[in-house]
Amino acid sequence: MSAEYVWNQCLSFIEDNIQPQAYKTWFEPIIPVKLHDQALSIQVPSKFFYEWLEEHYVKLLRVALRKELGENAKLVYVIKMENADKSTSFTEQIPSKHKSLFAPQEIDVPITGKDPGLKNPFVIPGIRNIKIDAQLNASYTFENFLEGESNRLARSAGQAVANKPGGTSFNPLLIFGNVGLGKTHLLHAIGVDIKEKNADKTILYISAEKFTQQYVESVKNNTRNDFIHFYQLIDVLLIDDVQFLAGKSGTQDVFFHIFNHLHQNGKQVVLTSDKAPVDMQDIEQRLLSRFKWGLSAELSTPDYQTRVAILKNKLYLDGMEMPEEIIDYIAQNIKSNIRELEGAIISLIAQASFNKKEINLELAQHVVDKFVKNTKKEVSIEYIQKMVADYFEMDLVTLQSKTRKRHIVQARQLAMFFAKRYTKASLASIGSQIGKRDHATVLHACRTVENLADTDKQFKKYIEDLSKKFS
C-alpha cells in the first residue's frame, strides 16, 4: 500500500462523516507524504491547520486510520514552514496518549538529530560552553510581521539590531505599546533572525515575570552569584514585559548589574513594555536611565490598510480563503489590536464549521457583533478626542488647533487628561495625536486639570460628565 492509497481511503470515510465545506477547508489541502510500517505522514499548510485538526477532528482521524492500518496506527504531521527549506514534524500516536482527545498540549514533539539544550534557561553554570535553549518561537519572524505606519520604526530598529547585535546605537532597544500589537512577536523575530545569522551567539528570550521568579529562587537557594553569572554569559538578552519589575527592588538591583555587564561588553539587550520609560512607575531612576540609553520605539494601533494586510496574511498562512467584503468588514469594525483581529477570524471559521454554515457577510456581522460585545472596550485617544469635542460642541480641528482661547484650551487639556487616564499611550504619543504637542505639554495639561478640579466647580462637573462616557 502507498501513502496516497491509504490517505484516499481515509478521505472517503471522512468525507461521508462531515459537512462538505469542512471537508473542503480542512482535508482537501492535506498531502500524503509517506507510509512507513503503520505510520502515515501527511503534510499540512501551517501549525494553525495542524492544531485545528487536532482540536476538532482527531477522533475522526483516529477511526479512519485504524480502519486502514489497524489498532497500532500512527499519524505524523509534517508542517511546511513558510519561507524556509526545513519542515517541523509533530507526531501523534493513535490510540491517543492524550488525557482527553481535546488536549493538544500533551502531544509528543520529537527532536531528531539535535541536542535540545537546556530546557530551563536558568541553570547553575560552571563552564562557559553550556548549551542554552534560546526559548524562541520560530514561527514569529520578520516575514510575517507586516509593516505599516503603526510599527515601521520598531520593525526597522529590530532588523537593524538583528543585523548587527550589540553594534548599533539601539542598545538597549525598548519596544513599547498596548497589548496585542505585536511586541512579543517582534521580540522573538529579532532573536530568530540573530540565531539564523550568528550560530555562535548565545541568545535567550525570557519574560520579566519568569526572570523575577528565578531570582527569588536563587536568593532562597543561596545561588544569587550563580544567577548573575549565568545571565552574564548571554550575548543577546530578550526580556518581555519589563514593566513587571515595577516595585521589585531586589530584582531591579540584580538586573541593573546584569544590564551594565552586558552593555559594557557589547552584548545586545532588547526589552518590551506596555509603557514608555517616561511613564513607568516604581522603576528605579538608575534603571530607567539605562532604558533611555538606546532607542524607545512605539507600536501603535494598526491603520485600516495594515489591518487588511494582517487579515490576508493570517488567512494565507493558514491555507484559507475568504471574500474581500468579509475581510473589509472585519478590518473596518475591529480596530483595537492584532490579537483581536486574528481572534475574530478564528471565531468566524469556528462558527461556520460548528454550525455547518457558509462563511458569508451575514455570519461575519453576527460573529463580529458578538466578538466586540464580549471584548473589553478599549478607549482610544481618537475616541476620547471625539467625545470631548462633541461635549463642548466643537470639531476636532478646533480642539487640536493652536488657539489660546480659554474654553478650547481647557477642552484640549481635558482630552489629554482622559487620554492619560484611560489609555496606556505614552505622554509623547498623546501629545502627538492631540495637536502635535510634546510630552511636557501633556504633563502640564494633566496637572492643570487636577488643580482646576479642586478649585472650580463647573470644571469639576466637566470631568464628572465626561468620565461617564469612558467608564
- Give pLDDT, residue 415: 95
User: Average pLDDT for residues 204-222, to the nearest whole number?
Assistant: 88
- Cα(342)–Cα(314) distance, integer angstroms: 7
pLDDT at 355: 63
Cβ atoms of 229 and 192 within 8 Å: the answer is: no
* 304-374 CATH: 1.10.8.60
All structural domains of the chain with their residue ranges:
3-106, 152-299, 304-374, 381-470
What average pLDDT score do residues 329-342 get? 74
Q: Which has more confidence, 21 or 137? A: 137
Q: Is residue 251's pLDDT more than 60?
A: yes
Which triple of cell numbers denotes residue 332?
Answer: 473596518
Greater model confidence, 136 or 471: 136
User: Which strands form 295-299's sheet, in the order they lie side by side?
Assistant: 203-207, 236-240, 268-273, 173-177, 295-299
What separation in angstroms does the CA of 71 have from each of 11, 153, 251, 350?
18, 55, 53, 30
Residue 374: per-residue pLDDT:
47
- The model's pLDDT over 100-120, given as tens digits with 9 standing for 90+, comes to 332 222 223 232 333 333 334
Whether the pTM exceeds 0.95: the reply is no
Say yes or no to pLDDT of 82 above 60. no
Q: What is the mean pLDDT of residues 17-29?
A: 82
Cell of 340: 483581536
Cα-atom radius of gyration of the chain, to the nearest Å? 26
CATH architecture of 3-106: 2-Layer Sandwich (3.30)
Percent of the chain predicted with pLDDT > 70: 83
Helices 338-354 and 361-374: angle between axes, nearest 10 degrees: 130
pLDDT of residue 327: 82
Average pLDDT of the residues of the chain: 79
Question: Given this model, what pLDDT does residue 371 score?
Answer: 60
Confidence grade of residue 393 (pLDDT, cut at 50, 70, 90): confident
Indicate the pLDDT class of residue 205, thresholds 50, 70 and 90.
very high
Q: What is the spatial distance between Cα 270 and Cα 291, in angstroms, rounded to a whole number? A: 10
pLDDT (average), residues 124-137: 60
CATH class for the domain made up of 381-470: mainly alpha
Average pLDDT over residues 234-248: 90
Q: By C-alpha distance, which of 252, 277, 301, 283 is closest to 423? A: 301
CB 272 within 8 A of CB 240: yes
Q: Looking at per-residue confidence, does 152 or 189 come out higher?
A: 189
Q: Residue 11's pLDDT band (boundaries 50, 70, 90)?
A: very high
Q: From residue 2, how far is each of 237, 255, 467 by CA, in Å?
A: 48, 57, 68
Per-residue pLDDT band for 259 (boundaries 50, 70, 90) equals: very high
Average pLDDT over residues 191-205: 90
pLDDT at residue number 90: 47
Task: Output the pLDDT for position 221.
Answer: 83
More confidently predicted of 127 and 178: 178
Please state which CATH number belongs to domain 152-299. Answer: 3.40.50.300
pLDDT at 172 over 70: yes
pLDDT score of 87 more than 90: no
pLDDT at 402 over 50: yes
- Distance from C-alpha of 45 to C-alpha of 274, rounded to nearest angstrom: 33
pLDDT score, position 353: 67
Per-residue pLDDT, averaged over 124-147, amounts to: 69
For the stretch 268-309, pLDDT in tens is 999 999 888 877 777 888 888 888 888 888 887 777 777 888
What pLDDT is recorded for position 23?
85
Q: Which of 158-162, 242-246, 299-303, 379-383 has the lowest mean pLDDT?
A: 299-303
pLDDT for 158 equals 92
Q: How confident is the model at residue 99 (pLDDT cuts 50, 70, 90)?
A: very low
Longest dimension (CA), the chain: 87
pLDDT over 80 at 176, yes or no: yes
**320-333 residue pLDDT tens:** 677 788 888 878 77
What are the C-alpha distances in Å from 398 to residues 379, 395, 402, 429, 445? 21, 5, 8, 19, 17
Residue 128 pLDDT level (bands cut at 50, 70, 90):
very low
Greater confidence (471 vs 284) lies with: 284
pLDDT for the residue 123: 46
What is the band of 317 on the pLDDT scale with cuts at 50, 70, 90?
low
List the one residue out of 433, 334, 427 whose CA is nearest residue 375.
334
d(CA 326, CA 195): 38
- Spatial contact of 46 and 313, defined as CB atoms under 8 Å apart: no
The per-residue pLDDT for range 26-55, each reduced to its tens digit, is: 888 899 988 988 888 888 877 767 777 877
pLDDT exceeds 90 at position 236: yes
Chain mean position to CA 83: 20
Q: What is the rounded average pLDDT of the residues 164-175?
A: 89
